[in-house]
Amino acid sequence: MIDAPPHTELSDQAAYAAAVQLATDAAAAYYGQGDSSLDDDAYDQLVRGIAAYEREHPEHVLPSSPTGKVAGGAVTGDVPHTVPMLSLDNVFGPEELADWAASLERRLGRGVTSWSVEPKLDGLAISARYRGGRLVQLVTRGDGTAGEDVSHAIGTIVGLPGRLADAVTVELRGEVMMTAEQFEQACAKRQAHDGSTFANPRSAAAGTLRAQDRPYTCELTFFGYGALPDPGDDSEQAVRLRELPHSEIMAWVAEQGVRTTADTPVAGIVAVTLDEVQARVEHIAAERAELPFGIDGIVIKCDLAGDQRQAGFSSRAPRWAIAYKLPAVEKITKLVGVEWNTGRTGVIAPRAVLEPVELDGSVVTYATLHNVADITRRGLMLGDSVVVYKAGDVIPRVESPVVHLRSGAEQPIVFPEVCPSCGDAIDRSQERWRCVRGRACRAIASIGYAVGRDQLDIEGLAGNRIQQLLDAGLIADFADLFFLTSEQLLTLERMGRTSTDNLLAAIERAKSRPLSRVFCALGVRGTGRSMSRRIARHFGSMDAIRAADAEAIQAVEGMGPEKAPVVVAELVELAPLIDKLVAAGVTMTEPGWRPPVVSGTDVALDAQTTSEVGGTSELPLVGMSVVVTGSMSGALEALTRNQMNELIERAGGKSSSSVSKRTSLLVAGENAGSKRAKAESLDVRIVGPEEFADLVGAFL
């Protein structure tokens, strides 16, 4: 058995009363305008703590306690619901799910016939009332018995048509939310209007749904999750809807032109066994980071109407449905400081220093802030309560300040006047501020990166040796390494004949590295190892890359319209360095490259590669996205991860660092960890190092 989910410990009656008040206030804010002093995880822990205290001290239970109430008992409304709009109880893992399913089956006196499994969308529950097929009223959940009329929002919600396909009278229930794209658009509109921004998509959706007098309109999205005929309607269609399985009701809702999750990677499914339910839970959880909308769990319910009727309801939730909660990817914490660091390209980057907070399985102390313009757009201040977001393998980032929690003690963030690394002036002409010395500011970092194993791979050049060469005035950038002489090196401390010869031999070997590695060594902003390989294979030579304009650069796979001009400008800035590399005899072509031959939409392989493997059809990884994880063995044991990625691309595939629904193959070595588990949940093909070596043997 797993440990019980954590809860807030309440030591006495006073602590309990304070917790009840805090939970009620937080729920009122959350279900009202979408703002709260607590994030979801903190609220859940608080309510579990209240419930635990009440079990031990039933004589102390307050009438205002949020336990056993819809929306925590914090909100009301003036439009009665035709059928109560209840909340869901929660489970937090497979063991709790199994316990809940067992208790449900004991209540039924038999097994559940079939299960419906669908994502729990992170939005606001509403009821959309249609009369004769026309949308006439929108009502929020409220306290479950009555809600607020928000019909003024009709016409602004994608996925909720003004008319259904059939002229029916029905109540559709679902979630109103903002997709990631809608949230960005809403933030831009609010920023332009009053200089502020929304805290997160849920609060933006809540505020937008209720707003009636804004001078700008923000788009929302509706996902349906149920349909109810009027309780007094005894028509043939109403009777039929009441008897349909949930899965068939959702198919009917989609046929009416209403948006459901059916066309998303996390569509609702029907499962027969609990193992199938758990497998789908894991699949949806694995997809979470890449969805264009927020989910905070998975809803599991009896699919058949008969099972639902027999199971019945409690005062706040149906007994035939449960919410399987996922770990929080968003938390509220304090911004206690901002650190300013100069990177190897001279870019000055801020980093948020946070009060430590547990997020998605790890303790987060630092988060990304991007740049000065980003800080200004978000209106951040030192001391702010901030929303910190993390999903999948993404580095934590500060989303926004929680403005309504400001105390007045917050202070402006002080921007640097000079480069924090060298003290020289700052170039502020672009959003990303940069030291006027550029790469020269952090020469040791720039050179260290260039000579690294996945770039030029020059052994014997540790940081202290690079610093020694810089201090002696023998180099100013990594191109100068190729002009070093034995006599110069022998003048340095701790450089004898053997170490000198070894270093010069390593430098000489580096001259023959392929263009992809040389380009990567340049450290062009907006590129990395994978993009450098794509650029090198697209153009074939440094001359062709340097001659390309932004439009030509953008033709490289994965190169966006914003990055392409930066790459062009960087290459102009790096011209003296590249010229020195050319003069030193460093390779400036990609081995085996030939100009691609375009025929319709197909691009033929170069002649050399085709002749080696007998044609494009014999490239074993064509069209495949491949992820490598764990420790390699056998023929692959000596390869670095970058070399594995190069091997994948030589064999016609595309290397990737994370598993998703688009992954074709996972190469899993020893200690593969979470990526293997995610691949299994997505039914991705998994092979070991030996099988993969056999598959791509011609390219090793």
The residues carrying an active-site annotation are 120
DSSP 327: P
By CB atoms closer than 10 A (0-12, 13-18, 19+), residue 546 is: middle
Q: How many CB atoms lie within 10 A of CB 502?
A: 13
Long-range contacts of 104-107 (CB under 8 A, 24+ apart): 104/302, 104/311, 104/319, 104/320, 107/310, 107/311, 107/312, 107/319
d(CA 356, CA 361): 13
The two structure tokens encoding residue 325 = 């909660």
Give the contacts of 613 (CB within 8 A, at least 6 positions apart). Answer: 619, 698
Cα atoms in the 13 Å half-sphere on the side-chain side of 667? 29
Distance CA 115, CA 302 (A): 5
Q: Which residue has the tokens 């998303």?
A: 264
Residues forming a β-bridge with 664: none
CA-wise closest residue to 354 among 323, 399, 304, 307: 399
Nearest to 259 by CA among 144, 123, 152, 167: 123
* Cα–Cα distance measured from residue 94 to residue 119, given in angstroms and rounded to the nearest whole number: 16
CA-nearest of 36, 49, 37 to 5 is 49
Closest CA to 310 of 10, 143, 110, 521: 110
Yes or no: say if 8 and 19 are a contact pair by the CB < 8 Å rule. Answer: yes
**Rg of the chain (C-alpha set):** 30
User: Phi and psi at residue 589, in whole multiples of 5°?
Assistant: -135, 160
C-alpha separations of 227 from 3, 82, 248, 276, 309 in Å: 37, 12, 11, 25, 16
Angstrom distance (rounded) from CA 513 to CA 516 = 8
Structure tokens at 413: 């963030």
**Whole-angstrom distance, CA of residue 318 vs CA of residue 58:** 24
Closest-CA residue to 385 (of 200, 207, 210): 200
Distance CA 413, CA 331 (A): 21
Instruction: Write a three-state SS string for 163-228.
Output: ECCCCCCEEEEEEEECCHHHHHHHHHHHHHHHCCCCCCHHHHHHHHHHCCCCCCCCCEEEEEEEEE
SS (H, E, C) 419-443: CCCCCCCEECCCCCCEECCHHHCCH
Strand-pair partners of 270: 116
List, as own/partner pairs, every contact residues 610-616 make where C-beta atoms lie below 8 angstroms and the sequence separation is at least 24, other chains included.
Answer: 612/698, 613/698, 616/652
